[in-house]
Amino acid sequence: MTVRTWLRERRPRPPERLTERVETVLAERCDLDAAGTTEHCLDTAERLLRELLTRPSVGREAALDLLTVDALVTYAFEAASDTPSSLENRATVAMARLAATAQE
């Protein structure tokens, strides 16, 4: 199963525009094995958040990208929940990574 297939099987389905944006920012990662969904989503969320934070101004036009970051992190943890024993460590690492983007 690919990341794209895994994403499209999520219920309830998000709005189509959000689904399209998530797939767009994941780019070629959508076609990779779904076993890496957690890392693919976190890596992409971190990159997109970093891009948002470097924009000269962030207004309403950034709303879709902010929702996309949120969706990617949510999907990352949904995928990570398949291995509950590593969830706490993954959460700690993800929080540190995302927080670091604001300090750059």
- Could you report the per-residue pLDDT of 24-51, keeping only the tens digit for each? 999 999 999 999 999 999 999 999 999 9
Contact criterion met (CB below 8 Å) for 47 and 19: no
Q: How many domains does the chain have?
A: 1
Give the residue-averaged pLDDT of 54-59: 81
Q: Alpha carbon of 56 to those of 50, 73, 75, 97: distances in Å?
A: 12, 24, 28, 22
The domain of 75 spans 3-103
pLDDT of residue 71: 97
pLDDT of residue 16: 96
Residue linked to tokens 């604001």: 102
